[in-house]
A and B are shown apart, each in its own frame.
Chain A
Amino acid sequence: MNDRTNFRGPPERTMETLFARLALTLAQPLGGRLIQPVLDLMMSTLARRHPDAFERMAELGEADLLVDPVDLPAAFLLHVGERPGLKVCDRATQANARVRGAFASLLDLFEGRIDGDALFFSRDLTIEGDTELVVGMRNSLDGEDFDLAADFGALFGPLANLPLRRPLTSLAGTLIGLHEVLLAPALRRLEQVERRLGRLEEGKR
């Protein structure tokens, strides 16, 4: 209990980081048009499954939050307000506030597995710009029991029915395949990751 790593929850999240890095690496040359529908779908799914959190976010007013995972090739711009949206962006993008940290930490923070204050105190997280926006976002999200694996598991149904072109399907599969990977026992996960990466790289060639 007094072990700091326990408190932080699963600290590594290497798999998730790997996936996200790969997805963003692949998405960059293809432009936002491929990854955007996936992000839109993710946001609408979250909004449907967590209406209270989105209601609290709407109360924060219209603003942009730059989520900047230092270990990924790009950042995310989260728009909060009446119509929240998420897009991939350059990390130099202007926003009302910016949160920087390891992708794993940001994911833990998003799911409420970790205390944002502790992360901040230990300098694992840096905040710039509108602090109220960051605190408001943190509180809005923390009030909800997010479980991204379960949340995006719900995406499989609707996604399967979308007439998506093949590269997009792969990309979506990479982002969303998180679900089945996370549910698999650790050892099998690694194999699956490797296989998935292999397939993707093959498809790209």
Chain B
Amino acid sequence: MASFELICPAGTLAALRAAVDAGADSVYVGFRDETNARNFPGLNFSRKELRQGVDYAHARGKQVFVAINTYPTAGNAGAWHRAVDDAADNGADAVILADLGLLDYASKSRPKLRLHLSVQASAANPEAIGLYRDAFGVRRVVLPRVLTINDIAKLNAEIDIETEVFVFGGMCPMAEGRCSLSSYATGRSPNRNGVCSPASHVRYETRGSKLVSRLGAFTINTFDEEEPAGYPTLCKGRFTTHDKASYLFEEPTSLNALHLLPDLKAAGVKALKIEGRQRGKAYIAQVVAACRDALDRFDRGQSYDATALDRVTEGGKDTAGAYGRAWR
């Protein structure tokens, strides 16, 4: 049996096919609206596309999960309920939820639907996770990116639930689902609108030989001519404290935990997740194939190339993030 299940992102049907073809065990997607945390223009699935994606994946023995992981709006939760219903009716193998009220709705109205707890719920200890399991029958939890491998091992030893962790892609330095930095600057919120540092509020300006990236009314970074640029995600910007400019929160970097496969296995992790539903299918195909190759080699006891993805990381840099204590 394989050591890990490989969970891959898709923002479009073409990306879903690319992920399945490249070796995904499961693909996670979202609907084209505010019900998911990658609500970007031109991205995501219609109901018809979900059905086509599910058919494509199932025909190849793979699964599709639907992320409905934003927090329903007070007085207007209909879109979130319909998303749960339509995901179930179109053959989704699981839904990935964060909101207590929505979990309550899903567990009562769709008792057979498999529930996963989204990273956006920020359930970071066994007590919290146990509550979601006992109250709603949640089967798997996507662990927030604030835990060390040690924390994860202790957690798995203590509680009987499948755990899924991020292995590659963009990473939040903040606890997910508990961050209002982007909405403070733009008025559009990851929790409410499903979008962090929205493109609608991003502007690139040229000032002399420098490229300036702005979010809302604020300068997030400037780049010299030859310097690699970054998207102005607020927490990966350059700011000034004590008159010194620095990447105060996090450098433009990607999480890469491929070199930790033995530790993640020893820690009892069930599934590895790749971040990036907003990325193009060319990127998806390459990242999924590289992870598949690494996982297959790991399963066969062979050495594998943990640096295979170094070239596609943001800013050309990667980090093991919170998995190691040094990151703190």
Contacts and interface: CB of A to CB of B under 8 A. Distances in A.
Direct contact of A and B (CB under 8 A): yes
Interface of A: 1-4, 7, 9, 52, 56-57, 59-60, 112-118, 120-123, 126-129, 131-140, 142-145
16 contacts: A1-B289, A2-B290, A2-B305, A2-B310, A2-B311, A112-B14, A115-B312, A117-B280, A117-B314, A128-B205, A131-B204, A135-B40, A136-B41, A139-B12, A142-B11, A143-B13
Contact of A123 (B202, B203, B229, B309): B229
B200 interface: yes
Contact of A121 (B49, B206, B310, B314): B314
B42 A59 contact: yes
Interface in B278-300: 278-283, 286, 289-290, 293
Contacts of B260: none
B15 interface: yes
Interface residues of B, number: 48
Nearest to B214: A131
Contact of B293 (A1, A7, A114): A1
- Most chain A CB atoms below 10 A, which of B13, B14, B278: B14
A2 B282 contact: no
A1 B286 contact: yes
A98 to B, nearest CB: 10
Question: Shortest 6 CB-CB distances between A and B: which pairs?
Answer: A143-B12, A136-B41, A139-B42, A115-B283, A136-B42, A140-B42
The B interface is mostly helix, strand or loop, or mixed, namely mixed
A121 B229 contact: yes
B42 A115 contact: no
Contacts, number: 119
B231 A117 contact: yes
A126 B211 contact: yes
B110 to A, nearest CB: 28
B228 A122 contact: yes
A139 to B, nearest CB: 3
Contacts of B49: 52
Contacts of A112: 14, 280-282
B43 interface: yes
B230 interface: yes
B77 interface: no
Contacts of B308: 1-2
B206 to A, nearest CB: 8
